Amino acid sequence: MSHDHHLQLPKFIWPIRIVQLVLSVIVLGLSAANVDVASFDAHAFAVFTSLFSIIILTYYLVAVHAVPRAYHWMAIVALELLAVVFWLATWAALAGLYADLVGGSRRSRNYYNIDRRSPEKRSIYSDYQGVFQAAIAFSVIQFVLFCVTAVFIGLAGWRRHSSGRSARGATTTPA
């Protein structure tokens, strides 16, 4: 079967896609661990964004290699841009929550009784902070990687659109 309806992307996109998939699984695990300790909306949103990324990356890999008829370049562009927005919102929400919890807001520290906890609970909180920081860091990396791939996918989609080819590779003729 012909793959002429696929976007023409640089070869280095594939390793980036694999890194995105691995990092999505890592952020999923870190965020799920944080949901287990303290269920905040930002952690749940990070779980959603990780699952969304895993689903779209799996769709992309399957559509390119196994089921080419499922590939649609407009869907690839739209999902990529949506992933950029989700990762931006995810790391911003996580960073905002982290700043509120540990950034020196005395009101938050008193509300969560951080300073009055037992040493065991402080240890759990310290572990939670470490996992939280890792989730933020990997979310920022994911955002940057999705921005990079979005630029190349967007450019490939623009070239395809401006060349006058339809979604299945046929050229359009004026009426």
- pLDDT at 123 (0 to 100): 76
**How many domains, the chain?**
1
Give residue 173's pLDDT band: very low, low, confident or very high (50, 70, 90): very low
Residue at 6 is within a domain? no
Residue at 7 is within a domain? no
Residue at 156 is within a domain? yes
pLDDT, mean of residues 13-33: 96
- pLDDT at 108 (0 to 100): 56
Using the predicted structure, report yes or no on whether residue 41 has a pLDDT greater than 50. Answer: yes
**Nearest Cα to Cα of residue 34 among 90, 107, 108, 116:** 90
Residue at 174 is within a domain? no
Alpha helix stretches (DSSP H) within 6-105: 13-37, 41-65, 73-102
Using the predicted structure, report yes or no on whether residue 110 has a pLDDT greater than 60. Answer: no
Residue at 172 is within a domain? no
- pLDDT at 137 (0 to 100): 97
* H or E, element range at 159: helix 119-162
Residue at 98 is within a domain? yes
pLDDT: which is higher, 60 or 53: 53
Residue at 61 is within a domain? yes
- pLDDT at 102 (0 to 100): 76
- With left for phi above 0 and alpha for psi between -120 and 50, is residue 67 left, alpha or beta? beta
pLDDT, mean of residues 122-138: 87
Model confidence pLDDT, tens digit, residues 70-106: 877 788 889 999 999 999 999 999 999 888 887 655 5
- pLDDT at 125 (0 to 100): 75
- pLDDT at 69 (0 to 100): 81
- pLDDT at 175 (0 to 100): 46
Residue at 112 is within a domain? yes
**Nearest Cα to Cα of residue 47 among 29, 60, 63, 69:** 29
Using the predicted structure, report yes or no on whether residue 58 has a pLDDT greater than 70. Answer: yes
Residue 17, domain extent? 13-162
- pLDDT at 3 (0 to 100): 55
Name the DSSP letter for residue 165.
Answer: B
Please state whether the predicted TM-score (pTM) of the whole model is above 0.85: no
- pLDDT at 146 (0 to 100): 96
Average pLDDT, the chain: 83
Interatomic CA distance for residues 31 and 28, integer angstroms: 5
Using the predicted structure, report yes or no on whether residue 172 has a pLDDT greater than 60. Answer: no
